[in-house]
Amino acid sequence: MEGDAGKTRVMVTGGSGLVGKAIEQVLKEEGPRRGEEWIFLSSKDANLMDVAETRAVFQKHRPTHVIHLAALVGGLFKNMKENLSFWRSNVHINDNVLQTAHEFDVQKVVSCLSTCVFPDKTTYPIDETMIHNGPPHDSNFGYSYAKRMIDVHNSCVFCVAEEETALQVWGSGRPRRQFIYSLDLARLFLWVLREYNEVEPIILSVGEEDEVSIQEAADAVVKALGFNGEVVYDTSKADGQFKKTASNAKLRKFLPDFSFTPFDKGDVVASNVMVSAPSKNNFSRFQAMGVAVTQSNQEVAQISRLVFLAVKPHLIPIVLGEILQHITPQHIVVSVAAGVTLATIEGMLPRGSRVLRLMPNLPCMLQEGALLLACGTGVTEDVASLLKNLLSPCGLVEVGPESWIDVHTGVSGSGVAFAGPRCSDYTRWKKEGSGQPSLEPWRQLQNERENSGADKKRTHETGP
């Protein structure tokens, strides 16, 4: 159920409860405003304690606004008896609704709390600033704290969303710090556990020479995320301690050859990758690298925000049909399927989905990767920059028109039988002064497509 441009679609969770029914009654009596559409949900529509069902109902109705009233409620004695259940159930409901609203770019969420969230020991009258001034009464401890977390969640998510046009860095950016890669630190912890037997402490840190400024750290974040907005240093905020340089001389006496991951190295952590396949035949290879595996495409779409469709072209409709209900506006979908156009894929996904096509080469001639990206209508420059940065360890990454994809596929994506066009012209493929391989053959071939028969004869065949 797609929303029309400019239309306000309000979804009310807990719509069958007392307050939800009251809102529905007022709307019947006074009528909605022009352009408003209202959807009232009950527990029959979705179990909001289940994240998949929550996403499915957001996918179905695509609300622009949400009034969140759903909760597990009860009287005094039920609260006292089942404090833990009230805490867990309401935390699940609130987190699923608020996070899914954020993922679906909902413009505004209005949530309902209760006066029970205020501290037990307080002064009267109570006001909005006093919510977190002390623990609530122990008779409804679980329910009260779960409701308080709505305020915390709103502050952490929606206030940040309003400020994402600029990255604000507190302080001048001049203070210096040593950053250690989490996996390096994990390996050192294991070494300490198994090999280091002294009582005296030992500093686990990169060397003094690896110290970087906060500005350099912020620049690295901007580059990694492909952020194109303004970076503002708020010098009204304190810098804190200028430096805390630590010596790892003692560590080096024990581990002189330990190799720390450079600060600017852009590796993707294997544990953040999930691979799906219908067969378990190759799972052990991925598991050995620390990659999560599953036979469920839906699980990949639920957990990941960047989804690569590395399947045969005829399987694209099947796979997209499986993951459709889990695709949100926060997802980036990258297809490696030859011949399936951006328009075709976009037509199978919710309106506005961010879709790209990727064609990697087989670098048997170049000995270096050359990847071509084409962007769909919903892809912004920052998303394209993010993909370029992510894929850059594979070689040259270039963004171009979709018409180049077919040429690139014919040149280097069709199989190892074709090592490269015009092997006598191999020098054109060598690195130029820029330090990057040239994509000029792709551009030239685009202009020579009418002579594809002649090119085919000059193509070096390396296999049957």
* pLDDT at site 49: 92
State mean pLDDT over 35-48. Answer: 92
Per-residue pLDDT at 196 exceeds 90:
no
CATH number of 307-457: 3.40.50.720
Torsion of CA 119, 124, 126, 130, to 10 degrees: -50
Say which range, 174-188, 204-218, 405-419, has the weakest mean pLDDT. Answer: 405-419
* pLDDT at site 192: 83
Per-residue pLDDT at 39 exceeds 80:
yes
Q: Give the start-to-end residue ranges of the domains of the chain.
A: 8-162, 168-254, 268-304, 307-457
pLDDT band at 265 (very low <50, low <70, confident <90, very high): low
* pLDDT at site 409: 72
**222 Cβ contact partners less than 8 Å away, ≥ 6 residues apart:** 167, 231
If one compares 450 and 373, the residue with the highest pLDDT of the two is 373
Say which range, 320-324, 382-386, 445-449, has the weakest mean pLDDT. Answer: 445-449
Class of domain 8-162 (CATH, top level)? alpha beta
Q: Tell me whether the CATH fold assigned to 8-162 matches the one assigned to 307-457.
A: yes
* pLDDT at site 267: 59
pLDDT band at 289 (very low <50, low <70, confident <90, very high): confident
Q: What is the pLDDT of residues 7-19, one digit of tens each?
A: 889 999 998 888 8
If one compares 115 and 230, the residue with the highest pLDDT of the two is 230
Residue 329: both structure tokens together: 């506006």
Longest dimension (CA), the chain: 89
Residue 419, number of CB atoms within 10 A of its CB: 18
Q: 463 with 416: CB under 8 angstroms? A: yes
If one compares 228 and 450, the residue with the highest pLDDT of the two is 228
> Catalytic site residues?
143
Exposed / middle / buried, residue 338 (Cβ in 10 Å: 0-12, 13-18, 19+): middle
Predicted TM-score of the model (pTM): 0.46
If one compares 419 and 103, the residue with the highest pLDDT of the two is 103
d(CA 72, CA 84): 12
pLDDT band at 55 (very low <50, low <70, confident <90, very high): very high
CA angle 179, 330, 270 (to 5 degrees): 45
Class of domain 168-254 (CATH, top level)? alpha beta
Per-residue pLDDT at 162 exceeds 80:
no
Q: 197 with 215: CB under 8 angstroms? A: no
* pLDDT at site 128: 78
* pLDDT at site 225: 66
Peptide bond into 256 cis (omega under 30): no
* pLDDT at site 297: 93
Q: What is the mean pLDDT of the chain?
A: 79
**133 Cβ contact partners less than 8 Å away, ≥ 6 residues apart:** 118, 119, 122
Please name the residue ranges forming H helices in 291-439. Answer: 297-303, 316-323, 342-348, 381-391, 403-408
* pLDDT at site 437: 43
Say which range, 32-41, 53-62, 237-246, 366-375, has the weakest mean pLDDT. Answer: 366-375
State mean pLDDT over 240-267. Answer: 82
Torsion of CA 263, 268, 269, 270, to 10 degrees: -150
Q: What is the pLDDT of residues 122-141, one digit of tens each?
A: 887 777 778 888 888 888 88
* pLDDT at site 453: 47
Estimate to the nearest angstrom the gap between the alpha carbon of 65 and the chain centroid.
Answer: 22
- Amino acid found at 345: I
The beta-strand segments (E) located in 229-277 are 230-234, 274-276
* pLDDT at site 343: 94
